[in-house]
Structure 1
Amino acid sequence: MDTHASTFPLIISVDDHTVEPPTVWQDRLPGKYRGTGPRIVRAPVKEMTFLGGRFKPVMGAPGDDGPVGDWWVYEDLRRPLTRLDTAVGYDRDEIRLEVITYEQMRPGSYDVPARLADMDVNHVQSALCFPTFPRFCGQTFTEAKDHELGLLCVRAYNDWMVEEWCGPEAHGRLIPLTLIPLWDPELAAEEVRRNAARGVRAVAFSEIPPYLGLPSVHTDDWNPFLAACDETGTVVAMHIGSSSRMPSTSADAPPAVGSTITFANCCFSMVDWLMSGKFEQFPNLRVMYAEGQIGWIPYILERADVVWEENRGWGGVADKVHRPPSELFAEHVYGCFFDDAFGLRNLDAIGLGNVLYETDYPHSDSTWPKSREVGEAQMGHLEPEVVERIVRRNAIELLGLTDDGLWDGPR
């Protein structure tokens, strides 16, 4: 691994992404489902827009004019691979919303040895990876018509994640993040326990479940799932966009508007959790916000404490939130960033133990291959032991890694 003369710690990234190989589900689903389960089809694009936080691609028919790309086909869903799924290696001004094929993406997006090589280039030791086709918390399978098939797809993804993506070839450097069947909290609890038994310590969840037509965290519906996470030490990981609705202001707002305010859903979600009573009900529960950045956190904690102190009598939380929200945050919530100089200047107001580092490989926001340089520039004012906590130690403790920063699950 390249460490040339730098004292910056080897990075443990808690938010990278995998682009699933074409055969993940075809290799694992029962034969009767292979014609309806997720599969790759090469076809032209007829139309594709991304406005108001909504991505709307339309697949053309064979022989139609238009750029050709690889599309995931699943029930009625047609979802293309795009340059935004895997943008590293391209100049920022060359990145467009366009369809691509597997041959047009960087192999590290889907191939383990290539990923490890790209991590070496970027001074990254270990990485936790969110999905692409299932979307950030498995919404693809939740929205499907056939939940029997959906459950098989969730389990197939998790088996691939644990056994192949994070398997022996990864040498402990890739950290598993699994999915749950969001439509059934009891089945979700079973899946958490199934994966925890093989060393998994992180599960993806929606930042704002009601946006997916699911119960909010203020209900008791999620308690079986939360109890399983509490008992197994499984971290609830929520990525921006895991509610299938990116923040925006209008139906015609350009993507730049939503990209600027991507933290907003994390902000709303965190207030939900802090005012839900779940952290007192499940004292070992931990949640993390991937790609939400951290600079916004101090004010929200200040405001939440004021509301709890002055308005809890009529605010509907006096009977379930018995401590200041900022105290609950300190024990249960983690913010993840890759480029937030303002947040790093306000660590005292956030909490050193609540901050994690990420590189967002291979997305267009990624700091690859300069994540070390970005970190050095933004953390140069901090003491080495503080940098070590942010870049490595907090992730090691949260995700149950070895002292060397590796996943010690099945080999």
Structure 2
Amino acid sequence: MRSFPKIISVDDHTVEPPDVWRNRLPARFRDAGPRVVRAPVKQMTFTGGRFTPEMGAPGGEGPQADWWIYEDLHRPLTRLDTAVGFSREEVRLEGITYEQMRPGSYRVADRLADMDLNHVESALCFPTFPRFCGQIFTEAADRELALLCVRAYNDWMVEEWCGTAHGRLIPLTIVPLWDPELAAREVRRNAERGVPAVCFSEIPPHLGLPSIHTDHWDPFLCACAETGTVLAMHIGSSSRMPSTSEDAPPAVGSAITFANCCFSLADWLMSGAFDRFPGLRVMYAEGQIGWIPYLLERADTVWAENRGWGGVADKVRRPPSELFAGHVYGCFFDDAFGLRNLDAIGAANVLYETDYPHSDSTWPRSREVAQRQMAHLDPATVERIVRGNAIELLGLSADGRWAPAAAR
């Protein structure tokens, strides 16, 4: 079997160490900022796409977990946050402690070792406690503290998580979503340090924020376009996983996780944003790619035949499929159907991921899964999907590594 290129994963996750905010917030905020306590889990459910944990009193009886505490929020670490190294039968909805998770979830040296086991060169990592686009801080009451928390997370991400990883961890930052001007400033601050990507919500109105059909986000989008910062949208970054009913079991939502990406892409293609900001590029993490061809086909039909009454004639100047080709990237880790229909998506618009350390992760078999599903593709196309597109999109070195701006 021919050699397989080293993987660049555009969707992995960091489980933040307990001291991220305590080490970086001003002294007067340290007791109010995010912090970890150990306490029992009274109950925990995940139905209808909503996660509802209930914490017992610290020191009390019952299954123990490490909980993030911030304002009124009590959020436990769970086995779903860090499932690698456990059999599928062992992965249940349960609280865990740091000692019970694989150390690569939160320690750089252990993460790099686990990447070596999985044939991974480098990885872009989404947040865990702040949620996938930092919406925890947007929901906070104290906006002064929230802004300090956003900046503290980004400093930790750039300086510690990525700054000590020899270029193998690629920084992905968050912004204060409640203020697009502040968000733009944070994008520019981090771009000056060489940060290539920023988290954003797939469907902002689900967070109580304006949609991308308004001009509300223009300062933020302009900053991203001008600095070449990629908008990275992870499934669930609207704080609402797709589901069908309030009592639907988690398996329903898991089967349709791509749905929010589908809705979001229709939004972006019909928003006019790509015409207003030609340098803007977005990516959909963990959305898979098999659904993309039909959406593009349908969007082109609507644009061609219905734009007169569809509200897009004056702002969407090109067919949606052309906009997709120039601005959008789909990300996958296990999608044989999508790869069989790659011509309808575009090999230049596909990125690979391993989803470490989540329950869906292909670790430590990511190379095996990719080889099996890409066996029909020529070596140049495999190289492009597994690493080449990511190198180009994220401005990495030829060997697939990140360097801070000062080192370039």
| 2:18 counterpart letter in structure 1 | P
Partner Cα distance (1:326, 1:399) in 2: 22
| 2:7/2:352 contact within 8 Å kept | yes
Q: Which residue of 2 aligns with 1:77?
A: 73
Distance in 2 (CA, whole Å) between partners of 1:352 and 1:36 is: 47
1:99 maps to 2:99? no
Cα separation, 1, equivalents of 2:177 and 2:147: 10
Aligned length: 406
Displaced runs of 4 or more, over 6 A: none
How far apart, in 2, do the equivalents of 1:379 and 1:323 lie? 32
In structure 2, give the amino acid aligned to 1:344: L
Query: Partners of 1:226 and 1:139 in 2: how far apart?
Result: 18
Find out whether 1:141 has 2:124 as its counterpart. no
Which structure 2 residues correspond to residues 229-308 of structure 1 after superposition, within 5 A? Answer: 229-308=224-303
In structure 2, what is the Cα distance between the partners aligned to 1:391 and 1:376? 10
1:160 to 145, 153, 156: 156
User: Aligned partner of 2:171: which letter?
Assistant: P
1:371, CA displacement in angstroms?
Answer: 0.2
Aligned residue number for residue 219 of structure 2: 224
User: 1:113: which partner in 2?
Assistant: 109
**Match of 1:123?**
119
Please list the CA deviations of residues 209-229 of structure 1 after superposition, one character each: whole Å capped at 9, or x if unmatched.
000000000000000000000
Displacement of 1:34 after TM fit?
1.0
| TM-score, scaled relative to structure 1 | 0.98
Q: Which of 285, 305, 313 is 2:308 aligned to?
A: 313
Query: Which runs of structure 2 are paired with 1:40-59 in the superposition (5 Å)?
Result: 40-59=36-55
Out of 381, 390, 402, the residue aligned to residue 386 of structure 1 is 381
Matches within 5 A, 1:29-48: 29-48=25-44
Q: Deviations over 1:253-281 (max 9, x none)?
A: 00000000000000000000000000000
Q: Aligned AA for 2:87? A: D
Render the CA deviation track for 1:156-215: whole Å, top value 9, x for unaligned: 000000000001x30000000000000000000000000000000100000000000000
| Counterpart-to-counterpart distance in 2, 1:78 and 1:30 | 22
Show CA shifts across 1:37-80 (max 9, x none).
00000000111100000000010013433200100000110000
Kindly provide the amino acid, as one letter, of the partner of residue 59 in structure 1. M
Distance 1:288 1:357 in 2: 11
The one-letter code sitting in structure 1 at the alignment partner of 2:67 is W
Among 358, 383, 408, which residue is 1:363 paired with? 358
What secondary structure sits across from 2:331 in the alignment? strand
Aligned-CA RMSD value: 0.8
Question: 1: CA distance between counterparts of 2:373 and 2:108?
Answer: 30
Measure the CA separation in 2 of the matches of 1:114 and 1:35: 29
Equivalent AA in structure 2 for residue 208 of structure 1? I
Q: Which position in structure 2 is the counterpart of 1:14?
A: 10
Partner SS state of residue 182, structure 2? helix
2:226 and 2:175 mapped to 1: Cα distance? 16
* Matched-pair contact (CA < 8 Å) for 2:13–2:125: yes
> 3-state DSSP class of the match of 1:170?
coil
CA distance in 2, matches of 1:350, 1:201: 24
Q: Match of 2:176?
A: 181
Aligned letter for 2:28? K
Question: What is the rounded CA distance, in whole Å, between the counterparts of 1:372 and 1:180 in structure 2?
Answer: 33
Q: Aligned with 2:173: secondary structure?
A: coil
Q: SS at 1:48's partner residue? A: strand
Q: Could you tell me how far apart the structure 1 residues matched to 2:246 and 2:268 are? A: 28
Percent identical: 80
Matched residue, 1:375: 370
Confirm or deny: 8 A CA contact 2:37 2:58 kept in the other structure: no
Q: 61-70 or 381-390, which moves further after superposition?
A: 61-70
**In structure 2, C-alpha distance between the alignment counterparts of 1:269 and 1:224, rounded to whole Å:** 20
Corresponding residue number in structure 2 for 1:396? 391
Shift of 1:6: 5.7
Q: Distance in 2 between matches of 1:180 and 1:172?
A: 23
Determine the structure 1 residue equivalent to 2:82: 86
